[in-house]
Structure 1
């Protein structure tokens, strides 16, 4: 990947543009916090060629949500579980809405 390619991907929410140190600085937290949420499998940072963790903007938003919960007194493991469950619920609601939008109408006519 050329420097121009990498620079163009900075707008990509999933591009791992941030080092662990920079990510921790941006979130106002420690590198240990980022390691802990990684161990809890909330986020899985990509690794650079040298093995260093790299975070995307999307992952930083998730980490920021975890930090909010921890700052409110929620244990880190519980905060990670809450976020995972919220994400699963949101996905289930999206699938349900899509089902009702597309498939639900044909089921109601078949029953009539």
Structure 2
């Protein structure tokens, strides 16, 4: 059996791979393409473009859009929802970095005790 290319398989696990068309993304989120365009206009998500100019969304972008939709469905204006999602994402990243720094500091501290 010839060796299989791992490239296609690798993209299945890539959270940032732009695998979903606008129509498919809207269907998955239970929203409209106009909602996704509105998120793009507010720079919450920036889909990649295919060679033909069609928008393509990643799983990560779909999660971001789903969170924004949740907030909008609760009555939050879209501009505020986008800002909230951006701040939540920044907080999550800062917490991840802090955990890494603490782990490094703990590792360095245990080395000096040996």
Report the TM-score, using the length of structure 1 for normalisation. Answer: 0.82
Structure 1 residues not aligned, in runs of 5+? 108-112
SS at match of 2:72: helix
Q: Deviations over 1:52-82 (max 9, x none)?
A: 1001111111111110000000011111110
Report the TM-score, using the length of structure 2 for normalisation. Answer: 0.81
Structure 2 residues not aligned, in runs of 5+? 110-114
Partner of 2:25: 23
Partner of 1:50: 52
RMSD: 2.2
TM-fit CA distance, 1:15: 1.3
Equivalent of residue 78 in structure 1, options 77, 80, 83: 80
Any runs of at least 4 consecutive aligned residues in structure 1 with deviations exceeding 4 A, and if so which? 4-7, 104-107
Distance 1:34 1:5, change over 3 A: farther
